[in-house]
Amino acid sequence: MPLTDMNVFASFVLIFVSAAFTDNILLARFLGMCSCLGVSRKVDTSIGLGAAVIFVTSCTSALNYLVYTYMLVPLELEYLRLIIFIVVIAAFTQLVEMIIERVSEKLYNALGIFLPLITVNCAILGISLFMLNKPYSFWQAFAFGLGGGFGWFLAITLIGGIREKINEASLPKGLEGPGITLIIIGIMALGFVGFSGMIKI
Amino acid sequence: MLASILISVGFLLACGLVLATLLIIAEKKILNYGTCKIDVNAGKKVLEVDGGSSLLSSLAEHDVFIPSACGGRGSCAYCKLQVLEGGGSIGPVEEPYLTKEEREDNIRLACQVKVRKDIQVQIPDELFSVRRFRARVEHKKPLTHDIVELRLKLIEPDIIEFEAGQYIQLESPEYKGKDSVMRAYSISSVPSDNHYLEVIIRLVPDGICTTWVFEHLKEGDELNLSGPYGFFHLSDTEAPNICIAGGSGMAPIWSIVRDMKERGIARPTTYFFGARSQADLFFVDELQQLDKELPWFTYVPALSGEPEGSGWAGATGLITTVVDQHFPDTSKHEAYLCGSPGMIDASVAVLSKNGMPEENVFYDKFS
């Protein structure tokens, strides 16, 4: 059934699930790898960064959708989307960081310190760009951002959990750190490939 | 064609401008904490600062200098102080540097605490004597191929009071896109020479501050420094001393030995200086002169990599081996060490193997 014919809620759920699982931005597209390798050493920090990513992807996909449909398309400047999206995302994260820092120190320590890390995260830009491949409505675009962020959160938390366990084991010197993490990510990616083809939109 | 180029450029510019203005306004409005009071040592000094910056830099603006080697990035943990009130909760950057006892004592890293409201801190009294100095480079003299000696004339304030063994922090200015940083160097001059300071600096490859000193700083230039810092100095006991140093670790020992001479402290002192080859030795004549002149002082240079047949008659081998041979029993001695962490750890191991109690070992670790 084409997306436009479905009721809003059903399409919302469908897009969310497909963005989170079948098209997992970290494990199927391999985006956002740098911050993932850096921060996934512990589950706590993974959850913090993951939550920040969910928040930023959902907000920026909505923002970028508006910018694209109501500014870039009418002006026929679609080819500028890459650079405009980057600027919007960077400004948005900076702004949110300032607001969080002012409003709540607890929230800042849990979430705010990760925001500068994801200002130029490719996963976030990727979600904003991929969202244009399908004829989404505003809410569908938001669902895509939310689902994409959730998929990234899920992946980094799982990786963090595995790495915490693995750090207790004695590894060959050459495999420590990023080496073993990339292998873990590769094996997990194989698992996520199993989801592909489950949903076709 | 032209129109579309103009539109796209105009749109980009407008976009950038709008967002930049938004951010600037936000920074002014949201991150403005007004004037905050910092109460140092229960009313001993009360500072009024603009909120929003770190405690470390706010204190430095008002001439209270907390030691810091990394310049506020939260990686050296030198800037620990007690924040009694208004510091907020411990941030993730500080987390790894604070032990359980320190947390209970409200110890924080000054560079990570932001001044957002009135704040109460407790710092060691010695830090009040730390001053910021303007100084002029009187001479810059190469001692070996990678070590120079700087002699600095103090301009403002023009006099300093310190103990032999303490260190200062040199501020390198911004150059070639490098940030301004502060780095610690031990004072090698004697306390009685109180209008001048001398430091011995070894070139660290890619080091921001040392590269500046070696390549950009000229005689006659002016610079900023702060000090004195540190607790490395001669104790009040009568115990015989073993001093061990390598490279620019010469500085505090060179200061301490000459200070002892000036003040007539005749504690038996043996100074082991480790280097690779004869070319890495410096102050040799001066130290040998002191060795002859002072019955209580012995100078033992030891070379670890001097080629055979070079005519070197002194000790050879690793400094730790030489110390081990000279002092099989160190239980009654005190030790003063200055040099690289590797050298210090190895020396401490040898000294304690030969019976030296841990509390008799004093050191200044460079890294």
The CA-based angle B333-B337-B342, given to 5 degrees, is 125
- Expressed as residue numbers, the domain containing A120 is 18-193
Whether residue B110 is contained in a domain is answered as yes
A144 contacts A19 by C-beta, under 8 angstroms = yes
Give the minimum alpha-carbon distance from B53 to chain A in angstroms, rounded to a whole number: 13
Q: Which of B7, B31, B89 sits opposite A105 (nearest CB)?
A: B89
Higher-confidence residue of B353 and A105: namely: B353
Residue with tokens 């969910």: A54
Name the residue range of residue B189's domain.
131-229
Burial (Cβ within 10 Å: 0-12, 13-18, ≥19) of residue B11:
middle
Average pLDDT, chain A: 87
Does B4 reach chain A within 8 Å, measured CB to CB? yes
Predicted complex: ipTM over 0.85: no
* Letter string b/e over residues B305-339, b meaning 16 or more CB atoms within 10 A of that residue's CB: ebeeeeeeeebeebbbebbbeebeebeebbbbbbb
- Looking up tokens 């399409």 gives A11
Among residues B179, B192, B185, B183, the alpha carbon closest in space to that of B148 is found at B185
**DSSP 8-state assignment for residue B36:** E
> Does residue B152 contact residue B141 with C-beta atoms inside 8 Å?
no
Last residue of a domain, one of B229, B260, B282: B229
Q: Both B144 and B93 in a single domain?
A: no
B216/B275 same-domain check: no
- Determine the average pLDDT of the residues in A8-16: 87
Whether A62 has a pLDDT exceeding 70, the answer reads yes
Q: What is the CATH number of the domain that holds B149?
A: 2.40.30.10
Give the residue from B127, B155, B175 where a domain finishes: B127
The pLDDT assigned to A5 comes to: 64
* Residues in B touching A94 (Cβ below 8 Å): 23
Return the pLDDT at B45: 82
CATH number, position B85: 3.10.20.30
Strands B181-186 and B147-156: unpaired
CATH code, B306: 3.40.50.80
Q: Name which of B323, B353, B322 is nearest B336 in CA terms.
A: B323
State the average pLDDT over residues A134-142.
Answer: 91
DSSP string, A63-89: HHHHHIIIIITTTT-GGGHHHHHHHHH
B357 and B245 in one domain? yes
Structure-token match 């993974």, residue found? A46
Give yes or no: residues B63 and B114 share one domain.
yes
Same domain, B105 and B139: no
Q: Nearest Cβ partner of A87 from B19, B30, B88? A: B19
Q: List average pLDDT for each run of 10 residues in chain B, which is 367 residues long.
A: 88 92 87 86 85 86 80 79 86 83 89 88 82 91 92 91 90 84 89 93 89 91 89 88 91 94 92 91 92 92 86 87 90 90 89 90 72
B252 lies in the same domain as B350? yes
In a domain, B26, yes or no: no
In A119-128, which positions are buried (b, 16+ CB within 10 angstroms) versus exposed (e)?
Answer: bebbbbbbbb
SS3 of residue B190 by DSSP: coil
Length of chain A: 201
Strand pairing category for B297-303 and B269-275? parallel
pLDDT value of position A111: 76
* Percent of chain A residues topping a pLDDT of 90: 39
In-domain check, residue B7: no
Contact across the interface for A84 and B15, Cβ inside 8 Å: yes
Does residue A200 belong to any structural domain of this protein?
no
**Residue B18 located in a structural domain:** no
- Interface check for A134 against chain B (CB to CB < 8 A): the answer is no
B89/A106 CB distance under 8 A: yes
Do B73 and B99 share a structural domain?
yes
Please tell me whether residues B173 and B223 are part of one structural domain: yes
- For residues A82 and A94, give the distance between their C-alpha atoms in angstroms, rounded to a whole number: 19
Q: Determine, yes or no, domain membership for B212.
A: yes
Query: DSSP 3-state assignment of B364?
Result: strand
What percent of chain A has a predicted confidence (pLDDT) above 70? 96
Number of domains comprising chain B = 3
Residues B275 and B311 both lie in one domain: yes
**Residue A161 belongs to some domain of the structure:** yes
Does B92 sit within 8 Å of A109, measured CB to CB? yes
Domain count, chain A: 1
Question: Does residue B248 share a domain with residue B304?
Answer: yes
Sign of CA dihedral B116, B119, B123, B128: positive
Across the interface, whether the CB atoms of B89 and A75 are under 8 A apart is answered no
Across the interface, which of A71, A87, A98 has its CB nearest the CB of B16?
A: A87
What is residue B340's predicted lDDT score, i.e. its pLDDT? 85
Q: Are residues B139 and B206 in the same domain?
A: yes
Q: Is residue A8 assigned to a domain? A: no
Which of B82, B112, B127 is the last residue before a domain boundary? B127
Distance of CA A188 to the CA centre of its chain: 17
Residue A97: inside a domain = yes
pLDDT of residue B367: 47
Calpha distance A74→B36 (Å, rounded): 49
The reply to whether B92 touches chain A by the CB within 8 Å rule is yes
Evaluate whether residue B2 is within a structural domain. no
The answer as to whether B294 is a domain residue is: yes
Closest approach of chain A CAs to the CA of B15, in angstroms?
A: 8
- Residue B143 in any domain: the answer is yes
What is the distance between the alpha carbons of residues B232 and A191, in angstroms, rounded to a whole number? 59
Give the span between the Cα atoms of B102 and B63, in whole angstroms: 26
Specify whether B251 is located in the same domain as B352. yes
